[in-house]
Amino acid sequence: MELSNWRSQLRKGFVEFSLLRLLRLHERLYGLEILERLNLAGIEIGEGTLYPLLSRLVRDKLLLTQWEIKQASGHPRKYYKISAKGGETLARMSSEWESLVRSIKDLEK
């Protein structure tokens, strides 16, 4: 398997995990804020990846949405917030992540 294929497979689950963690830390964000924060953290994705993922997480009830119009710009923004189910899922994902990290560290012993 080429490194790029391996990296692509690894990132698929990691992006979802990172997005849920981001929304846990920041309460609620709109799409462009999420995209910018993930990219600044080195998790480089585009709108074509982010928005379908957000839609799936909303459909799976892991995220909640709320439309809001800011007075200054007048443009409606769709804000995303982690749901109770999303928080539970994130807790399980975090536990699995910690277990994987421990396993990799155990290989070094």
pLDDT of residue 42: 92
Q: In whole angstroms, what is the distance from residue 58 CA to residue 106 CA?
A: 37
Which sequence spans correspond to the domains of the chain?
Answer: 3-107
Q: In whole angstroms, what is the distance from residue 52 CA to residue 10 CA?
A: 18
List alpha helices for 60-83, DSSP H.
none
* pLDDT of 72 higher than 80: no
Q: In whole angstroms, what is the distance from residue 11 CA to residue 58 CA?
A: 20
Domain 3-107 has CATH 3.40.80.10: no
**What φ, ψ does residue 60 adopt, rounded to 5°?**
-80, 0
Of all helices (H) and strands (E), which one includes residue 64? strand 63-69
Q: How confident is the model at residue 1 (pLDDT cuts 50, 70, 90)?
A: low
Rounded to two decimals, the pTM is: 0.86
